[in-house]
Structure 1
Amino acid sequence: MNLGFIGFGEAAFELASGLNEQGLQNKIAYDPLLNVPEYSELIQNRAKASNVKMVDSTEEVFKEVDAVIVAVPADKALGVSQQLMANVNSNSIYIDVSAANPNIKKQIAFNICTSGGKFVDAAMMGPLPVYKHKVPILASGDGTDIFIEMMSVYGMNIEKVSEIPGEATAAKLIRSIYMKGIVGLYIELLEAAHHFNVENLVIDSLSETINGRTFEETMNRLVTGTALHATRRSIELGGTIDMLESADIDSSMSKAAKAKIEKLALLNLKEKYHGEKPEHWLQVIEAFKVTN
């Protein structure tokens, strides 16, 4: 197995390091920053540590490998695919691990398939420094089955989503609504709790409420319960916002939540369900679709 990398930043380095430990010896990479003085030493040290041969052109990478992992910033991914089209051939497996959005992934797939190659939209779903090559990966695109066959023998944890490029990344980006958004909520909550000197009370209370149930149970309970009591809960959040602003604490996350719950209130689900809360969160989401 010969594996190539286009871009040798942290993501490529962590993958290469883990694969090296699993015995994958033939690894080659190209990174334009290799010749930039402030990055050169770092890239060379990473390449040495992970047993990766650095080369001077993308052409050299594609000539020597069975598959190429393209690990470039999301805003560069489409342009890089256009530049690499001349290197792609019928034997090329092009694996894009960027966080470019699903529409961009579809455009990249078109470029690669037009050049005769197979495309994989690979969404890494965990921290690479922790998992390295075993990071959970969701994959979609016409090259996914080949990617799994090639790399599973080295312990890579790849789950096929579909043949449609962009669907794997869609799952990653939607997950980020929670994983990134919850950090904003935590910061706003903790800033307020600390200001009012009630952090232990608040954290203990939330722990008791949340820890006894699974994530899915808690999510379903909160969404369906709020569907029934949206008006009251939006008013309560208004009180929270007033309190935060009186203490000169940023309330942007609470304001956003209040706006969303107010839209939920306009659906009149309490009346639709005759005062009983919906059984499942999907009923609430379907109700939103009707109004869009």
Structure 2
Amino acid sequence: MRLGFIGFGEAAFEMSSGLKQQGLEQITAFDPMWNHTKFGALVQERAQKAKVELLSQSEEVLARADILIVAVPADKAYDASTALKPHLKQDCVYVDVSASSPDVKNKISENVKETGCRFVDAAMMGPLPVYKHKVPILASGDGTDTFIQFLSPYGMEISKVSENPGDASAVKLIRSIYMKGIAALLVEMLQAAHHYKVEELVIDSISETMDGTSFASTMNRLVTGTSVHALRRAVELEGSIEMLESSSINSVMSQASKEKLQLLSSFNFKEKFQGKTPAHWLEVISEMQS
């Protein structure tokens, strides 16, 4: 089995380093920056360190590869598929690991399938420097089974989501709403706590509330409870926002939370649920989408 990379940045370097250690011998790569005056040396150094054959033309990689992993920035992913399309082999599996949206992944899939290639939408769900080739990957698309068959023996952790390109990326991007959002919210909270010199009290209080139950249980409680108390909680946040602004601390996350709570209150959940907290978060979301 021959593996090729288009784009040899951190992701490709870490994956190929691990795969080489697991015994995958035939790995080639092309990066458009390979001979760049500023960044070329880094690309070449990575290839040498990972023991990957760095080629000067993308067509050379495509001619050899059975599995092609395209690791380019999200805003370049579709254009890359268009540029590579004339040179793709019919029996190749095209794996896009960019953080593109589901719509873009579908467009790339359509591009690739016109050549007879199979497509994989691959979403990497962890830090590459930590996991290397063993980074958990969610995969969808008609090439997923072959992708798993060829690379699982080398230690790659690939889980199939579906046959639909875009489904794997949807999971990653939806997860990011929480992971990136909660990080930004924590920064805002900690700025305020540090300003008022109450860090330990705030952190200990939240820990006591959050540590006792699972994420799923806490999520359900917060969503269902908020649905019937959204307006009151939006009003309460106004005090937090005033406090932040009086302390010259940016309140963008609290402002957004207040706006979301005001939107929730417009659904009149308290009346719909007759003042009772619903049992499951799905009841709330279903009402919002009905």
Q: If the TM-score is normalised by the length of the shorter chain, which range does it land in? A: over 0.9
What is the alpha-carbon distance in structure 1 between the residues aligned to residue 22 and residue 147 of structure 2? 17
Task: Indicate if the aligned counterparts of 2:20 and 2:50 stay in contact, CA closer than 8 A.
Answer: yes
User: Counterparts of 1:224 and 1:21 in 2: how far apart (Å)?
Assistant: 49
CA distance in 1, matches of 2:102, 2:61: 26
How far apart are 1:245 and its partner, in Å? 0.9
Instruction: Tell me the distance in 1 between the aligned counterparts of 2:231 and 2:62.
Output: 59
Instruction: Please show how residues 166-177 of structure 1 align to structure 2 within 5 Å.
Output: 166-177=166-177
SS at match of 1:276: coil
User: How big is each residue's C-alpha offset from its partner over 1:231-275, in whole Å with a ceiling of 9 and x where there is no partner?
Assistant: 111111011111111111111100100000111111111111122
Match of 2:49 in 1: 49
Residue number in structure 2 paired with 1:181 = 181
Q: Deviations over 1:132-156 (max 9, x none)?
A: 1111111011100100101110111
Q: How big is the shift at 1:17?
A: 0.9
Paired position in structure 1 for 2:241? 241
State how far apart, in whole Å, the 1-side matches of 2:175 and 2:288 are.
20
Give, as a single letter, the amino acid of the residue that structure 1 aligns with 2:261. Answer: I
Output aligned runs, 1:72-151, within 5 Å.
Answer: 72-151=72-151
- Please list, as runs of the form range in 1=range in 2, the aligned pairs for 1:251-266 lying within 5 A after superposition: 251-266=251-266
Match of 1:160, as an amino acid? Answer: K
Shift of 1:18: 1.0
1:89 CA drift (Å): 2.3
Name the CA distance, whole Å, in 1 between partners of 2:216 and 2:40: 46
1:229 and 2:204 correspond: no
Instruction: Count the aligned residue pairs.
Output: 290
Match of 1:285 in 2: 285
Distance in 1 of aligned mates of 2:44 and 2:206: 47
Code of the residue aligned with 1:259 in structure 2: it is E
Q: CA deviation at 1:210?
A: 0.7
Mapped to 1, the partners of 2:206 and 2:4 lie a distance apart of 47
Taking the aligned partners of 1:65 and 1:253, their CA distance within structure 2 comes to 46
The whole-number CA distance in structure 2 between the counterparts of 1:87 and 1:106 is 20
Cα distance, 1:212 vs. partner?
A: 1.2
- Could you tell me which amino acid in structure 2 is paired with residue 173 of structure 1? L
Q: Is 2:122–2:138's contact at 8 Å kept on the other side of the alignment?
A: yes
Greater Cα shift, 266-275 or 145-154: 266-275
Letter in 1 for 2:124: M
Cα distance between partner residues in 2 of 1:177 and 1:33 = 32
* Shift >2 Å, 4+ stretches: none
Instruction: Determine the C-alpha separation between the residues in 2 that align with 1:273 and 1:181.
Output: 29
Retained in 1: the 8 A contact 2:35–2:41?
Answer: no
Distance 1:203 1:273 in 2: 33
What CA distance in whole angstroms lies between the structure 2 residues aligned with 1:209 and 1:89? 56
Residue type at the aligned position of 1:139: A
AA aligned opposite 1:253: M
Question: Equivalent residue of 1:126, what SS?
Answer: coil
Following superposition, the deviation at residue 186 of structure 1 comes to 0.7
Structure-1 separation of matches of 2:133 and 2:250: 39
Partner of 1:60: 60
**Whole-Å separation in 2 of the counterparts to 1:97 and 1:281:** 32
Please state whether the residue corresponding to 2:159 is helix, strand or coil. Answer: strand
Matched residue SS, 2:145 = helix
Alpha-carbon offset, residue 40 of structure 1: 1.5
> Per-residue displacement from partner, 1:55-104 (whole Å, max 9, x unpaired)?
01111101112111000000000000000011112211100000111111
- After TM superposition, the structure 1 = structure 2 runs for residues 146-225 of structure 1, keeping only pairs within 5 Å, are 146-225=146-225
Q: Which amino acid aligns with 2:220?
A: N
- Counterpart of 2:106, as a letter, is K
By how many angstroms is 1:25 displaced? 1.2
Structure 2: unaligned runs, 5 residues or longer: none
Write the distance in 1 (CA, Å) between the matches of 2:128 and 2:235.
Answer: 42
The answer to whether the 8 A contact 2:133-2:156 is kept is: yes
Deviations, residues 160-208 of structure 1 (Å, cap 9, x unaligned): 1111111110111111101111111011000000011111100011111
